[in-house]
Chains A and B, each alone.
Chain A
Amino acid sequence: MMDIIDLKKKAAEIRIRLFQMIHNAKAGHTGGSLSNTDILTVLYYHTMRHNPQEPKWVERDRFIASKGHSVESLWCILADLGYFPKSELETFSQFGTRLIGHPNNKVPGIEMNTGALGHGLPISVGMALAGKRDHKDYRVFCLMGDGEQAEGSIWEAAMSASHYKLDNLVGIIDRNSLQISGNTENVMGLDPLDKKWEAFGWHVVSIDGNDIVSLMETFNSIPYTEGKPTLIIANTVKGKGVSFAENAIGWHHRVPSDEELALAIKELTEQIESLVSKEGQPHE
């Protein structure tokens, strides 16, 4: 298992790779993939029980990307872990590829085809319910968008998860507060989001979703309440890690120019180097 510095370095490396991939494909959801990179890095390199050599291992923890459009970070992580060859990332969004702009279960490591918003949590409830009925101890992690919270099916699923006491289910909201048309609170107000989920019977935790340590500690504490599903509001920055993409609405699915790619790589490389130089010092 990776330590904190390694995880931070890995997240920066994934960000470089996804930026390159989107630049190469001339397509992709840049901002959302950058905001969820830390969450996915901690899940895949620290928290989840899984085996890239045996993607369908029955005891594995399940990950469902309900906000399927932010798939670029996930493709980079799955390739890095060996679920499929890294060279295949070059085919992202190209003619005939498996690596399309949403999770595709023809690719090892992907459970279900997601991307139509509001589908991931119901599916996750089914998986968690099967786990309970079969007395398995796997967990199901479902990553949702904040704009996605306007979908009614999420709340149907939220109700059923607490009804069936699915404490093996973890919902994570990538709360970057931006959706394609603007600030989430202007497009369709969500707050108080924590109170809504609590009212639906979930144990709610609100954290800095770009902080590796917070994510590790939070995931380590699940379930917080026996018999209750856990909802993590991961407060993130859309475009995180690349200064000019941070909190910039235009970067929802903007493709970086050659200059922007070079600048992003420079910034992220500096972040990695600063982490390397900190090695040997006590963790903050």
Chain B
Amino acid sequence: MNKIANRQVICDTLMHLAKDNQDIIVLASDSRGSAAMGPFAEKYPNQFVEMGIAEQNLVGVAAGLAHSGKKPFITSPACFLSMRSIEQIKVDVAYSGTNVKLVGISGGVSYGALGMSHHSLQDIAVTRAIPGLAVMLPADRHETKKMTEALVHYDGGVYMRIGRNPVEDVYESDDYDFQIGKAVRLHEGTDATIIACGETVKVGLDACALLAQRGIRTRLVNMHTIKPLDTEEIIKAAKETGFIVTLEEHSIYGGLGAAVAETTSQHCPVPLKILGIPDEPPIAGKTAEVFNHYGISAGNVATIIEEGLRKEG
């Protein structure tokens, strides 16, 4: 089991890149500890800005820094960053076109028993509706590294969400081609497709293994970039496999499932099941417990696909 959290990987990657790129600036909202950015702040004090617990100012200041040629990376809890400062994200980042990277840490249900105030399950819905803002969720530590490196070279506003705890690897290493907006097929199959993002990609991978044992060949698409969306890969999945299940650590409204449905319904309608957190304050528990409770588990996904294929006959 991997012990390295994605936040740790972001810190390591930015520390490595900041050495030769003095424009990289990390901002925190009293969140350097939870973002694992303490080492960065110590090593590069002139490239670190503490903003205190003030998320609106946090994003506005980052936009001002970006306007002056800096490459700001905000690291702040996803629940506050994507809600308290959403108008600054819309206006100061997306509308003004500033090069701000918004890294939402401890996203989804990472904060577990802390309650709905600390969950971020609407962030994909709200950020992906904003013109000019890209939205991304890495699946594991290797993808987090690739994505962070890509963001340094990407000119424009991005919302990137990660979870709090280490997640199991879905990639064997970081030796693969990562492109913003280009989905990655992690398992080949023609009977059905699972499209997942973030920490649910591992659930999808385990479901593929279960289904393989039962003779069902399932395709797994890692949709690490929700916007700009790889619609081509979605349409291919619909045409070539005819049945899609989406997985996400997000409300069933407005997230990855909705984005996939918007695409398939207009280009190639196929049966689609959206698995995520239902429209209620989530149950308290650790991520795996919450996922299991709502059916975001390999077993449930395998059952849904088996039953779906049986219905199709």
Contacts and interface: CB of A to CB of B under 8 A. Distances in A.
Interface of A: 58, 105, 111-116, 118-119, 121-131, 133-134, 152-153, 156-157, 159-160, 163
B61 A157 contact: yes
B60 A131 contact: no
Given A116-B87, A159-B52, A130 B57 contact: no
A23 to B, nearest CB: 29
Contact of B62 (A118, A126, A156): A126
A122 B91 CA distance: 12
A118 B65 CA distance: 17
A242 to B, nearest CB: 32
A116 B67 contact: no
A119 B92 contact: yes
Given A124-B64, A126-B62, A130-B70, A157 B57 contact: yes
A129 B61 contact: yes
B265 interface: no
B244 to A, nearest CB: 38
B60 A123 contact: yes
Q: Which of B52, B60, B63, B65 has the most CB of A within 10 A?
A: B60
Nearest to B49: A129
A156 B54 contact: yes
Contact of A160 (B61, B68, B88, B98): B61
B76 to A, nearest CB: 13
B120 to A, nearest CB: 21
A278 to B, nearest CB: 42
Interface of B: 46, 49, 51-52, 54, 56-57, 59-70, 87-88, 91-92, 95-98
B167 to A, nearest CB: 33
A127 B68 contact: yes
A-B pairs with lowest CB-CB distance, top 6: A126-B64, A122-B60, A130-B68, A156-B57, A156-B54, A126-B61
B46 A126 contact: no
A113 B95 contact: yes
Contact of B68 (A113, A114, A126, A156): A126
